[in-house]
Structure 1
Amino acid sequence: MTVTTIPTIPHYEPAAPSQEDLDYANLAIIDLSKYSTPEGRAELVDELRDAVRTYGFFYVINHGMTNEQTRRIFDIADVPFSQVSDEEKQKYAGKMREVGTYQGYKLRKYWHINGGVRDQIENYNINKQVHNKEHPVAVRPLMSEIETFTKHNHFNVLHPILRLLATSLELPEDTLTTIHGYEAPGDTWLRFMKYYPRSEEEEAQSGNIWLKGHTDFGSITLLWSQPVSALQIMTPEGKWKWVRHIENALVVNSGDSLEFLSGGFYKPTIHRVVQPPSDQRGYPRLGAFYFAVPDDNVRLVPLMQSPVIQREGIKRRFTDEDAPTVEEYRKGRVAAYGQSQLKKSEEKGVEVEYIGKVLVKHYN
């Protein structure tokens, strides 16, 4: 019998959860253990429809990973940052602006945030095809675990959610999974992300904004919940509310691509990252994400075969003739983010840019 030994790496110890009295959003909790029965799936269809239509953010529990396995993922997530030298990071730096894709490092100070302040965030991005690029030396022994984690996100979490969403649109349940292929060309990716504390001067200049309000350009984003409070969502009433940490849960949100495909039935939620509360300042914020994007060749037009879309009508941000492909839209969004010159909107606190003929808003 073959015994697999996992590599020994340093343990990452996050900050303790905040004890401050924060105004948290009341997000739905989707229990994926219900997915195993027809009755449970029927319940989840209704719960998920309401969750995405109300806030566009929700939690997922009983997703198939234990607390111990999730802690191991956060140990792995820290390796590209704490175990790789700055010199080696430069070797694996991504070329987001040139090629419009996230692969490799997004190093600190690449994005302009606000008030002349640049970011203090490092990303290490890995395409769902995890072996299509070389990785830093310290990461290579972990690639088997990273691939297993990527497939778990894709097949055991993303695909059930997409099947439930397709059912909610009264479409065949494989409608959305078919255009989110694991082997298909596209830019679905795993991201390890580390926010580093900033100086008081930078906090003052930026208005305490670490990542300005935005919507994700993909369809579904999976964020593995971590204890440093910083993520906020904008409610339908236009109020910012904090997202609470739930141990070993996922925080899931919808993105632009789902809005376009559903004809506006499902809208993406505006979210931002701000300075943590006072009892967590001085701590880094380490995250593990899975950003799901439809296949590159998908054209972002409404799925008109949906009876729900036909009944509800289409809420358009652009005409079908102007609809980009997924590849065109994500390349434009990736290349522009934090690099383009935004224009002030008539809406208070909103800046805008066009990606092709799609108006994209950024919120402060």
Structure 2
Amino acid sequence: MPHSTSIPLHAPHYVPAPVTKEDLNYADLAVIDLSKADTPAGRAELASEVKEALLTHGFFYVVNHGYIQDQTDRMFDIADIPFSGVADEEKHAYAGKMKQTGSYQGYKLRQYWHIDSGVYDQLEHYNINRDVTKRSHPEALRPFLPEIKDFGRYNHLNVLHPILRLIALSLELPEDSLVNVHNYDAIGETYVRFMKYYPRSEEEEKKTNNVWLKGHTDFGSITILWSQPVAALQIQTRDGNWRWIRHIDNALVVNAGDALDFLTGSFYKGTIHRVVQPPPDQQSYTRLGLFYFVMPDDAVKLVPLTESPVLQRAGIHRRCPDSEAPTMEAWRKARTSAYGQTELKSGQDKGVEEEIINGVVVKHYN
């Protein structure tokens, strides 16, 4: 468990919203107890649970990950600093150039992504590479960089790697098969994200049918979301319906993305999820998010792990020929540059829009 003997720097306390009392249609997600991963027998048990969770929903909770509630609360306090502790002028000075660079490092400012019917987003996020020295940061955040670095390292080594070992075991591969392409010190874009959604006007809600972020898949291998109480995240279940994600105190919400889809020949599909207006009793609150977005090392070519006996038995469905498969660097740059900036075309299925990225069809769901 991470700890420090020094007195922590003062950070204004972020007070989260109360948990909703609305009766929502929640998804029934598996809960993975990561403390069981300390033994071979425990990992074998968890690997089976993770396999079922990824095949059923592509989302699952993780508990007993090593952070206590006070440590999680502290990280949410720090996560709010780039939004409540930095003036708009300074935010613009540290804005990322996503379209030009294909990198989210720095701020994604409000009203950058087109949502629908001429309405643009009302969310900000600030992204910090696990190498916190990769670029400069707003003044208010600089004293907290050591804690952010420790948080990223903990997510990578103590949460991500154990999960990747479970996924490898579920594919009947050597435990470190996926760990070896998600190295902490390798060149890549795996990063900590702080994100804040702000309430929208009634007119914006009507024009977008209350959708704040269209249904999409993440472009990395997995995403780690530290659960927070404002209900807004939904997943599209296998029956095509949208289900809410329930908040669990100090739990992690983990989902599969494009890179895992590529690597497993669509055995584990990237999970379709979206963000919508919160229920009535939470609509006046902002929604603060704390994430660890995970990608394989930049140089990894996104081709199926054909040596997996599980994939051999199930059949491998490639999204493109191996010779044309992108590297992780090429895929994340293309997805980052295009997202919310390109004109989408109607797909064959109702409510589905499409774009072509690196020769691969990418779908967005409304």
Scaled by the length of structure 1, the TM-score of the pair is 0.98
Partner of 2:83 in structure 1? 81
Partners of 2:132 and 2:183 in 1: CA distance: 14
Partners of 1:131 and 1:247 in 2: CA distance: 31
1:133 aligns with 2:135: yes
Partners of 1:64 and 1:130 in 2: CA distance: 22
Which sits farther off after the overlay, 309-318 or 61-70? 309-318
2:31 partner SS: strand
Letter in structure 1 aligned against 2:40? P
1:260 partner SS: helix
Partners of 1:185 and 1:243 in 2: CA distance: 33
Partner of 1:149 in structure 2? 151
Correspondent of 2:68 among 66, 69, 77:
66
Partner of 1:289 in structure 2? 291
8 Å contact kept, 2:265–2:319: no
Partner of 1:250 in structure 2? 252
Partner of 2:314 in structure 1? 312
Letter in structure 1 aligned against 2:212? W
Q: CA deviation at 1:3?
A: 5.2
Which sits farther off after the overlay, 20-29 or 127-136? 127-136
Correspondent of 2:272 among 270, 273, 276:
270
| Poorly superposed stretches of 4+, deviation over 4 Å | none
Partner of 1:111 in structure 2? 113
Correspondent of 2:282 among 280, 283, 286:
280
Q: Structure 2 stretches of 5 or more lacking a match? A: none
8 Å contact kept, 1:353–1:360: yes
Partners of 2:212 and 2:50 in 1: CA distance: 29
Q: CA deviation at 1:313?
A: 1.1
Correspondent of 1:176 among 168, 174, 178:
178
Partner of 1:186 in structure 2? 188
> CA offsets, 1:120-160, max 9 Å, x none?
00000001111211111000000111011101110010000
Correspondent of 1:360 among 336, 344, 362:
362
Partner of 1:345 in structure 2? 347
8 Å contact kept, 1:163–1:173: yes
Partner of 2:7 in structure 1? 5
Partners of 1:49 and 1:181 in 2: CA distance: 23
1:335 aligns with 2:337: yes
1:57 aligns with 2:89: no
> CA offsets, 1:36-76, max 9 Å, x none?
12221111010011001110000000000000000000000
> CA offsets, 1:174-195, max 9 Å, x none?
1111111111111111100000
Partners of 2:259 and 2:11 in 1: CA distance: 37
Partner of 2:48 in structure 1? 46
8 Å contact kept, 1:116–1:206: no
Partner of 1:227 in structure 2? 229
8 Å contact kept, 2:304–2:318: no
Q: Structure 1 stretches of 5 or more lacking a match? A: none
2:139 partner SS: coil
Partners of 1:38 and 1:176 in 2: CA distance: 17
Partner of 1:16 in structure 2? 18
